[in-house]
Each structure stands twice: as C-alpha cells, then as structure tokens.
Amino acid sequence: MSKLREKLERGEFVVTGEIGPPKGVNLEACLHDAETLKEQVTAINVTDLQSAVMRIGSLAVSARLVQRGIEPVFQLTCRDRNRLALQSDLLSAWALGIENVLCITGDHPILGDHSEAKPVYDLDSVQLIKAADTLNQGYDMAEHELDSSPNLFIGAVVTPAAEPVEPQIIKMKKKVAVGARFFQTQAIYEPDKFEDFMNQVQGFNVPVIAGLVILKSAGMAKFMNGNVAGITVPDSIIDEITETKKEDLKKKSVEITARIIQSVKPFCQGVHIMPLGWDALIPDILEEAGLSK
C-alpha cells in the first residue's frame, strides 16, 4: 500500500509536493528537486505536460522516483491520449511500481507551445477516474477481463475558489461516485472561502488536500488572478508582497504560505505545496506552519 493511501486512510495530515519534468532528457535538476522534497513530504506529484508544453513524460519520471525510493503521484491527463492509451498507461504505471494516480483533464493545447496540436479528450476526467477504478476491479472499459489487476490509489482535482462553485461540487460528487479516493485542490489563498467549500462537501467523506502555490512576486500573483481560472490572490496579500524588500521576498513567501496552511489545516486532510523551483523553502514553510518532521 502506498504511504499516501495509508496515511490518508488512517486520518493523518499529509504534505505532498510537486515537480515538473524538463523539456528534454536531462533529469538532473528534476530529480534533485525530488530529493530535496523527499524528507519533507509523503509523496511528490509529477506533472503531465503541464501548461500543454511538450516535455518528457510523467510516467518516465515517476518510474525514476520509484527507483530512488520516492513515492510519486502520477498525473495523467485526458488531453493527449485516447482510452486505449490511457488504460495502457495506468497498467504500465502499476507495473512500474507506481500506485498513486491523479486523473485530470489537462490544459488545451492552444495554451501551450504546440498550439497546432490536435486535442484528444476521448474521455473526460470523470470517465478517466471510472476507467481506472474499472481496471482495479479487473476489467477494461470494454468489459474484457484482465490477467491480474492493479490496485491504484485514484485521485482527482477540484477548484474550491471557482465562481460559481456549485458546478465544482456537482462534478466532485460524480468523481467520488466513480472511484476517486482523494482530492487535491487548485491553489487556495482565501481560507474563509475554503472553509465554506469544505462545509459543503464534508458529506462526501473523502480526503481533501489543499493546494498552495508559493508566491514569488506580486506580478506572479496578479498574473494568476488574470489568467488562471479558480485562483484568487487577495489584494491584501499582493500588497504585503509589494511592500516587501526584494532581499526579504523569500522570507515573506514562507510567512504567507505557512499562515495559509495554519488557516486551512482544521478543514482538510493535507496540503499540496507547489514550489515552482523554490523547493528549498519548504522546510522553513513546514516549520513555521508547525508541520516540520
């Protein structure tokens, strides 16, 4: 059983991290980031062609993490594969020792560096979750029996700060019904809204891991507000960053992230920290948030 699954099923509070595979075959920096996070987190997400930019695959990098004794969360998007390839990759993941999978839709190719690429979207995220759960039960989507089945720990995503939030809750309920066993959220910067969201979905009885992107600058926060659906960084936080001297910016980022973690901790089962290259700050963030190992 994966450590992530074991801890969530025991009701423990978990911390997960994230790395992005490189555009090329040099994995040195990527694997170094994973080693930096290894002692601080339970598992590390490996993004799947994030932002629709062509990169080395999540499956390959996840397998390399397993070789190093690091538990991955294999992200799998619907964007680039039909149902044959999606099911095959899920089985391949299990064969490579990868137990955790996060099933997501994936950004449209027009947003990435190959805007002329044809999107697939043969399945949506709900259908992909169901396909993974069906494989766990020993069958493929065509109801053909498998020669031994995996036992994947299936995750999904949700956006608590979406406006309106009701469609997110409806879709979350569908994902739970077809086999989602944990959720990671889009980045949270408004704990009050997150608390309200969690009150609305507590009856789903599924662990929710709150997402946090470490803010590097006021410009980054403003960009996310204008370009990333479901993320709202309050003006008060932007003002804090704006008023901070450049040499103190990392310290301020630690303070803000730790403060949000402390605020959301009573309402969720973990936090998912997306460092975007500032992996070295995670020990300080966890220490200030009272989560240091």
Contact 108, 52 (CB under 8 A): yes
Q: What is the pLDDT of residues 250-271, one digit of tens each?
A: 999 999 999 999 999 999 999 9
Kindly tell me the sign of the dihedral angle through the C-alpha atoms of 237, 240, 244, 250.
negative
Residue 290 lies in a domain: no
- For the chain, what is the domain count? 1
Q: What is the pLDDT of residues 109-154, one digit of tens each?
A: 999 999 999 999 999 999 999 999 999 999 999 999 999 999 999 9
Residue 76 lies in a domain: yes
What is the value of pTM for the model shown? 0.95
Residue 287 lies in a domain: no
Residue 240 lies in a domain: yes
Short-list 276, 277, 264, 216, CA closest to 291? 264
CA distances in angstroms from 226 to 133, 207, 223, 254, 289, listed in the order given: 36, 29, 5, 23, 28
Residue 286 lies in a domain: no
227: CATH: 3.20.20.220
Q: Please say if the pLDDT value at position 43 is more than 70.
A: yes
Contact 234, 190 (CB under 8 A): yes
Per-residue confidence (pLDDT) for residue 293, from 0 to 100: 61
Contact 57, 48 (CB under 8 A): yes
Residue 291 lies in a domain: no
- pLDDT cut 70: percent of the chain above it: 100
Q: What is the pLDDT of residues 202-218, one digit of tens each?
A: 999 999 999 999 999 99
Report the C-alpha gap between 227 and 157 in whole angstroms. 19
Residue 175 lies in a domain: yes
Residue 270 domain boundaries: 3-280
Q: What is the pLDDT of residues 48-91, one digit of tens each?
A: 999 999 999 999 999 999 999 999 999 999 999 999 999 999 99
Mean pLDDT, residues 224-237: 91
Q: Please say if the pLDDT value at position 292 is more than 80.
A: no
Contact 285, 222 (CB under 8 A): no
Residue 292 lies in a domain: no
Matching residue, tokens 């095959």: 88
